[in-house]
Structure 1
Amino acid sequence: MAPTLVSAAVGALLAAALLGFAFDRRAVAVVVAAALVPSLDAAASLVVPGATNALLHAVWLPLLAGGLLYWDTERRPGGESRLRGRFGRRGVRVAWVALASFVVAGIGSALFAGEGAALLYPLEDARYVVRGRLLFSTQEGVVQTFLALGSDGSGVLPLRTAGGAVADPVASWVNPDGRPGLNPGADREFRVVDGGSQLVVVAAAAATLAVRFRGRGGGGATDGGVSR
């Protein structure tokens, strides 16, 4: 999985880009927290074998949350959304952005730039990962391997397996060997950033939030808190 700080930074960028009128400190905190939720399955691996990048990285939780959110805000009989009734349009906006943060910053960080995510866990014991590149060649033109367009393969998105979720535990600072059981004497390394590109993402997120909060006079809610 990506370092926790990087996942938080991607969540912060999504908050700055998507919250719109709902942007304030509390909304940003909710969206960033949603980005960090999938990484909590590392702690669960102390009890559940192979839980890291599996238990909270599977598609079931976001699908359930997205379905319930859509039903409540768009399909509830009588048109009376409980979420909108209690928190107004602002609450609905924050909920959808938080869900996007959970999927993109939380699950995507492992699927596209990590050890892989067990998307169908526990129905299938395999982690999936997407690897690819995009470049322009003076002889071949645009070359990309993220989308397998027109291929006879298994699908458009070139998912490939990266070992079993249980058979191949993923190490984390919480559980260095990825296996059940707490070892107090184990060497734990909390990764802040793994390279210059990740540091750029963190710095960009910090700068973006600083500019947005400065533009709103400190981040207090204005129209978002009263719209219903």
Structure 2
Amino acid sequence: MAPTLLNAALGALLAAALLGPAFDGRTVAVVVAAAVLPNLDAVASLVVTGATNTLLHNVWIPLVLVGLLYWDTALSERSALRERYGWRGVRTAWVALAGFTAAGVAPDLFGTPGANLLYPLEDAYYVVDGLLLFSTQDGIVQTFVSATAEGPGVLPFESLGTTETHSISTWVNPDGRPDLALGSEREFVVVDAGWQAVVVASALASIAIRFRPWARVRTGDTAEDSATEASR
């Protein structure tokens, strides 16, 4: 599982980039919370076999939420979300959904642990891994789309196993199986690669700059822009 701090940092970057005039401490907290929410399925793994990167990491949750949000904010004659929270609530909800998907689920899908993307319709952890480059001798070389011989596979995904054969270790559940494992060593990973530290530092810098008064003005966070957003 990707480090929780990485999920939070990616969520903060999305908040800084996408919230626009809705940017403030509360909306940033909502987006960051949505980004780390998928990691809670590690807690469920204490009682449910293979819950880590499964229960909250499948594709169906984002798809359902996209459908509900689009229907409420674009198709319905009266938007419950807009009536209660205004344009800020609508914008925050969409950015939070992006945080859940891109900052919460995607880092595991594009990393070593993998994500049980189609669960429960198909029980298989998938990972997207490969490279794309241009060679002066071989031209364009890519390894994302390739058939695999191990287990079920959906191109360009590579299957790592199922909930019965593929266990994911977390600090909550070191062995990934339904037990408390009280005697096991627990390690809370802050970052496990240099590029992750760069992402965290970038997120801290972005949020700090956005909270500066002069930065809010220069990025369009004015009363006039807020009124324009409200009229949309």
Q: Would you say same fold, with TM above 0.5?
A: yes
Q: Distance in 2 between matches of 1:60 and 1:95?
A: 17
Give the direction of change, closer, same or farther, for the CA distance of 1:35–1:114 in structure 2 (3 Å limit).
Answer: farther
Q: Distance in 1 between matches of 2:42 and 2:95?
A: 24
Matched residue, 2:200: 202
TM-score normalised by L of structure 2: 0.87
Instruction: Give aligned pairs, total.
Output: 217
- Aligned counterparts of 1:205 and 1:30: Cα–Cα separation in 2: 15
Correspondence for 1:106: 104
For residue 30 of structure 1, what is the aligned residue in structure 2? 30
* 1:128 to 2:126 alignment: yes
Superposed, 1:11-160 pairs within 5 Å as: 11-76=11-76, 79-146=77-144, 158-160=156-158
How far has the Cα of 1:15 moved from its partner? 0.9
Q: Distance in 2 between matches of 1:186 and 1:114?
A: 22
Structure 1 CA distance, aligned partners of 2:167 and 2:131? 27
Moved over 6 A (4+): none
1:227 matched to 2:230? The reply is yes
TM-score (normalised: structure 1): 0.88
1:70 is displaced (CA, Å) by 0.8
Q: In structure 2, what residue type is equivalent to 1:22?
A: A
Stretches of structure 1 that go unaligned for 5 or more consecutive residues are 149-153
Q: List per-residue Cα deviations over 1:154-207 (Å, max 9, x = no partner).
A: 87x511101112321211110000000112221000000001111111111111
Q: One-letter code of the match for 1:91?
A: G
Distance (Å, rounded) in 1 between the aligned partners of 2:56 and 2:193: 26
CA distance in 1, matches of 2:145, 2:230: 41
Give the distance between the partners of 2:172 and 2:85, measured in 1 at CA.
35
Q: Once superposed, what is the RMSD of the aligned Cα atoms? A: 2.0
- Residue 147 of structure 1 and its aligned partner are, at CA, apart by 5.5
Percent sequence identity over aligned pairs:
62
SS of the equivalent of 1:216 reads helix
Give the Cα–Cα distance (whole angstroms) in 1 for the partners of residues 165 and 143 of structure 2: 28
**Which residue does the alignment assign to 2:4?**
4
Q: Which residue of 1 aligns with 2:150?
A: none
Deviations 1:109-137 (A, max 9, x none): 11002311001112211101100112332
Shift of 1:211: 1.0
Q: Following TM superposition, by how much is the alpha carbon of 1:222 offset from its aligned partner in structure 2, in angstroms?
A: 6.3
Q: Residue in 1 aligned with 2:161?
A: 163
Compared with structure 1, are the counterparts of its residues 20 and 89 closer, same or farther at alpha carbon in structure 2 (3 Å cutoff)?
A: same
Contact 1:51 1:166 in 2 (8 A): no
Q: Which has the higher contact order (CA 8 A, sep 6+)?
A: 1
Residues 20 and 38 of structure 1: is their aligned pair in 2 closer, same or farther, counting only changes over 3 Å?
same
CA distance in 2, matches of 1:61, 1:33: 16
Q: What are structure 2's unaligned runs of at least 5 residues?
A: 147-152
Q: Specify the code of the residue in structure 2 equivalent to 1:144.
A: Q
- What is the identity, as a one-letter code, of the residue corresponding to 1:17? A
SS of the equivalent of 1:176 reads coil
Give the match's secondary structure for 1:87.
helix
Give the aligned residue type for 1:120: L
The DSSP-based 3-state class of the residue aligned with 1:167 is coil
Q: Is the 8 A contact 2:175 2:181 kept in 1?
A: no
